[in-house]
Amino acid sequence: MQPHKQDWFNESKLCMFVHYGLYAQIARGEWTQFNERKPCEEVAELAKTFDPKHFDAEDLVRRAKEAGFKYVTLTSRHHEGFCLFDSKYSDFTSMKYVGRDLLREYVDACHKYDMKVGVYYSLLDWRFKGYFDHKKHPESKQKMVDQVFNQVRELLTNYGKIDYLWFDGGWYDDVLPGSRPDYGQLVSDFWNSKELCKMIYELQPHILINDRTGEPGDITTPEQKTGTCSDGRYVEACMTLGDRWGWGYIQNNNFKDFTTVLQTIIIQLSFGGNFNLNVGPMEDGSIRDCEQKILAQLGQWLRRNGEAVYGTTGMPKGIESIIGEFTSKGNNVYWHVFRWPHKGEAILRGLRKKVKRVTLLETGEEYPFEQQAYGRLIVKDLPLLAPDPTCTVIKIECTDEDTPEDPDTYGVF
């Protein structure tokens, strides 16, 4: 079978999102300029004090790799318009103000550590009047669209191989996500996205594009929620470690605990999708200890249970359990048990293949089992306490043989 350009994406499963920009100095998130109606001139002053002295791309990417992520996505430019890359089409860049092309440092680190490269780029730019009222300021709007084409061309010609282009900010004026049935077409027309995507694929044919240009793209990217895609494309849920506004650095400690993070990841994998977990470096570019701790915990769990994550294809159709979720790969089903069963017996239903072995994934310890009608599988003699109280993975090895037909009666049902 010929490899598909999305194969690496499905195999990888886990991405680390990194939101970093001038907004880290404000410490109230990347939307502060808009939400607090800060003048562009006030935000521009932050460039003069921007000091990413502890932004260490190699350390960042190495930590991502150790945490079990297979690709990283860095914000090359967010809505405030400040570029972390060198651009001929803007003076509002890290190169001009601190003499560093942070994106190049990041891309080089990804290549060094064999990580796939994702680049976030915001279509909108709050510095342009034409974004807020394109009918009143058509020339400004066109300059903003031209900036998009020029800078995306720079990203795809000056930095070597880019694997994933993650667009954001397609909405404009009163055309907001979900506000009208023709939203996608209006966004595509506004940014001339058909031509934009054509240019991108011509420059780097292998690249993946997400769904936020108004065009379908290759990847659907629900935000702050898990979900599946119904049209056959891959789906990547993106989520913060902190609260819903916490993409960029916010000076608080409202972080999800590791159990919540891991179980949310598993739920998304059970849909067959990928998960993109965000960190927001502080103003100096360093990652907070509390974020590092969660990343380290994730890496430890994945080193024990990665087989049940990477390259999986979601839960088998019809299978259900009230104590956990499922992923699968080939003839193997992985039961991610969140709520350890009482009295050493775990039951699922809907498994339509004959089972040959049931083991604890981490150790290979084998457990006895019984298969019954309606796809019921009863796993017996489990330990009284969960081997991993956060998420224990039970590996179910199946054969190609189907289970017998169910009886005509459903008994008590």
CATH number of the domain that residue 224 is part of: 3.20.20.80
Same domain? For 264 and 302 the reply is yes
* Residues 271 and 235 sit within 8 Å (Cβ to Cβ): yes
Same domain? For 331 and 296 the reply is no
Structural domains counted in the chain = 2
Question: Per-residue b/e over 46-56, b at no fewer than 16 CB within 10 Å?
Answer: bbeebebeebb
Same domain? For 265 and 290 the reply is yes
Whether 28 is covered by a domain: the verdict is: yes
DSSP 2-54: PPPTTHHHHHH-EEEEE--SGGGGTTB-TTHHHHTT--HHHHHHHHHH---TT
Distance of alpha carbon 34 from alpha carbon 127, whole angstroms: 11
Q: Report which residue type is found at 200.
A: I
* Residues 188 and 215 sit within 8 Å (Cβ to Cβ): yes
Structure tokens at 134: 């394109």
The predicted structure's pLDDT at residue 386? 97
Q: Which of 248, 279, 308 is the last residue of a domain?
A: 308
Q: Which of 280, 308, 336 is the last residue of a domain?
A: 308
Whether 410 is covered by a domain: the verdict is: no
Same domain? For 139 and 40 the reply is yes
47: region left, alpha or beta (phi > 0 left; psi from -120 to 50 alpha):
alpha
The predicted structure's pLDDT at residue 3? 65
For the chain, helix (H) and strand (E) counts, in that order, are: 12, 15
Distance of alpha carbon 141 from alpha carbon 318, whole angstroms: 50
What percent helix, strand, coil does the chain show, rounded to 5? Answer: 30, 20, 45
Whether 407 is covered by a domain: the verdict is: no
Same domain? For 93 and 211 the reply is yes
Same domain? For 329 and 304 the reply is no
Same domain? For 356 and 302 the reply is no
Same domain? For 265 and 392 the reply is no
CATH number of the domain that residue 380 is part of: 2.60.40.1180
> If DSSP states are collapsed to H, E and C, what string results for 169-181?
CCCECCECCCCCC
Q: Which of 309, 310, 278 is nearest to 294 (CA)?
A: 278
Same domain? For 138 and 276 the reply is yes
Whether 287 is covered by a domain: the verdict is: yes
Whether 266 is covered by a domain: the verdict is: yes
Domain that holds residue 386: 324-402
Whether 313 is covered by a domain: the verdict is: no
The predicted structure's pLDDT at residue 1? 46
Whether 145 is covered by a domain: the verdict is: yes
**Coil vs helix vs strand at 116:** strand
| Interval 228-286: pLDDT, tens | 877 777 899 999 998 877 899 999 878 999 999 999 999 999 999 999 999 999 999 99
* Residues 389 and 340 sit within 8 Å (Cβ to Cβ): yes
* Residues 343 and 385 sit within 8 Å (Cβ to Cβ): no
Whether 316 is covered by a domain: the verdict is: no
The predicted structure's pLDDT at residue 227? 83
Same domain? For 216 and 137 the reply is yes
The predicted structure's pLDDT at residue 98? 98
Give me the residue label for tokens 């739920």.
Answer: 267
The predicted structure's pLDDT at residue 410? 56
Same domain? For 293 and 385 the reply is no
Q: Which of 269, 284, 308 is the last residue of a domain?
A: 308
Structure tokens at 105: 């440092």
Give me the residue label for tokens 């967010």.
Answer: 78
| Interval 170-205: pLDDT, tens | 999 989 998 899 999 999 999 999 999 999 999 999
Distance of alpha carbon 128 from alpha carbon 272, whole angstroms: 39
pLDDT along the chain (413 residues), means of 10: 79 98 96 95 97 98 98 98 98 98 98 98 98 97 98 98 98 92 97 98 97 96 86 89 88 90 97 96 96 97 98 94 97 97 94 97 98 95 96 97 77 52
- Name 286's Cβ contacts closer than 8 Å, sequence gap at least 6: 54, 55
Q: What is the DSSP letter of 412?
A: T
Same domain? For 113 and 157 the reply is yes
